[in-house]
């Protein structure tokens, strides 16, 4: 049985090793490893290593830091298949999906490779007689990331490349459900030439999280997860004087107008709803069918849902793998049953799915629910599984009002052939990331990722320009160099105090 250890100061370590928990293969239901669960002692050790490394790393040249990022980026390319299979084996998503998340994470590394231009300050000449002003940004110190199970490579890659490239040192607390990707990435950093202590991994649960949130040696915390935990992280970390990025949950709507290409829309909504088994904060969980689009859209979505091939993530041709845990499987199947009792029509029922040879795996099939209302649990809750709810409205404006009334505001999409409708939608919707005929509008790395309302706690989105600002602080320098009005000559006499 493999034991997954912390990574501190450049190598694996068991740390305090006070406790551990199993890591499962979701496709088989079998335990495949044990991960150590750290606490305050292990966080202290990681902070000590990161603090010592910061003294030299923060003074390294921008060229040295970006060269490490170039090396790291190349290693991610070379080891993409291996890392993808590690993710698939612990998370359950398909290997293709895992490779996709690595690619999206690698884009942030590429952004970090170009920080030489992004970090340029500004200079103002002669703001007053003989006075100039310039500014620049410096790193914070030791920073930390607390990341979820659903993207064990991509979400951390949205954080640490920018933090490290700007001169900080980093401590990652990944999900204990699929922890191996974090250690694999740590070793790639080592191969890329990153000095020991600049990137560290502490595994654990709430004890490790609380130690990070309250540790005086950590200057900033980045978090992605559920909204209740995001609020807790924001409250605890800010009360201890830290900067915080806290990204929470979502309920993402895709609106389909009667003028949309229904085959095109259904293809993309199906992928957005059931890809990665719906376990992503940008998953499409609600399709809003407007007017006469409704009945025809339901028929196409039903056909597409039944075509989704469910199986082990490492099996070629699989579209959707299992859920991450048995508990998640039971929660999703229970939610489908509750929806039926509350009046929803189950068009496609994914419950009770068994895969030959993997009968103990955490599988459930795609579920499609029609005639859902905003009062139903299937609409109000972030299910985080392969369940697509259909709500019907008469007009686009009603759809906009419905989405704006939802407490979440992470992502949304509109499928239409009308430029006027698209412009009205994107201007009036209260959501941070919008797709027009794009179901999962995750922005590129040189833009920032973050929603509105309960999907972003505080004011700090992640990666892109906002990420640069989050991991650095500015200095403004005002200078005057008065002209010398007398000559200073060397003296040969013994100096005196006069």
> Is 113 annotated as catalytic?
no
Rounded CA-CA distance 208/226 in Å is 17
Annotated catalytic residue within 68, 281, 328, 457: 281
By annotation, the residues acting in catalysis are: 281
């Amino acid at each position: 049985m493999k034991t997954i250890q912390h990574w501190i100061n450049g190598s694996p370590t068991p740390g305090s090793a006070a406790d551990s928990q199993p890591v499962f293969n979701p496709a088989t239901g079998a335990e495949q490893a044990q991960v150590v669960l750290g606490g305050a002692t292990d966080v202290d050790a990681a902070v000590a290593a990161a603090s010592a490394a910061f003294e030299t790393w923060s003074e390294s040249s921008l060229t040295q830091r970006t060269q490490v990022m170039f090396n790291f980026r190349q290693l991610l390319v070379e080891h993409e298949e291996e890392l993808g299979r590690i993710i698939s084996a612990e998370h359950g998503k398909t290997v293709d999906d895992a490779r996709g998340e690595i690619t999206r994470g690698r884009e942030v590394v590429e952004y970090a490779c170009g920080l030489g231009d992004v970090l340029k300050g500004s200079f103002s000449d002669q703001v007053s007689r003989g006075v100039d002003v310039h500014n620049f940004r410096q790193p914070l110190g030791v920073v930390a990331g607390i990341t979820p199970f659903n993207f064990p490579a991509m979400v951390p890659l949205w954080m640490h490349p920018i933090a490290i490239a700007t001169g900080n040192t980093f401590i990652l607390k990944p999900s204990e459900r699929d922890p191996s990707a974090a250690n694999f990435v740590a070793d790639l950093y080592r191969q890329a030439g990153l000095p020991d202590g600049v990137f560290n991994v502490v595994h654990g649960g709430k004890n490790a999280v609380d130690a990070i949130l309250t540790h005086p040696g950590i200057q900033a915390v980045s978090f992605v997860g559920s909204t209740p935990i995001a609020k807790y992280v924001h409250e605890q970390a800010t009360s201890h004087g830290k900067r915080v990025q806290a990204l929470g949950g979502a309920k993402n709507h895709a609106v389909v107008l009667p003028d949309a290409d229904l085959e095109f829309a259904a293809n993309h909504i199906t992928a957005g709803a059931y890809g990665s088994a719906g376990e992503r904060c940008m998953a499409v969980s609600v399709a809003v069918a407007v007017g006469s689009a409704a009945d025809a859209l339901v028929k196409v979505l039903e056909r597409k849902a039944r075509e989704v091939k469910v199986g082990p993530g490492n099996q070629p041709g699989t579209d959707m793998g299992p859920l991450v845990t048995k508990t998640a499987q039971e929660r999703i199947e229970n939610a489908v049953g509750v929806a039926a009792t509350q009046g929803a029509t189950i068009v496609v029922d994914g419950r009770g799915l068994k895969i030959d040879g993997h009968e103990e795996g955490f599988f459930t099939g795609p579920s499609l629910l029609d005639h859902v209302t905003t009062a139903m649990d299937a609409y109000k809750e972030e299910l985080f599984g392969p369940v697509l709810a259909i709500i019907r409205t008469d007009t686009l404006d009603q759809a906009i009002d419905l989405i704006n009334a939802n407490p979440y505001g992470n992502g949304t999409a509109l499928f239409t052939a009308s430029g006027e409708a698209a412009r009205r939608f994107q201007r009036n919707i209260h959501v941070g990331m919008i797709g027009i005929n794009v179901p999962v509008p995750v922005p590129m790395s040189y833009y920032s990722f973050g929603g509105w309302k309960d999907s972003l706690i505080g004011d700090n989105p992640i990666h892109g320009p906002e990420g640069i600002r989050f991991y650095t602080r500015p200095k403004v320098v005002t200078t005057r160099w008065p002209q010398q009005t007398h000559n200073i000559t060397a003296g040969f006499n013994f100096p005196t105090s006069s």
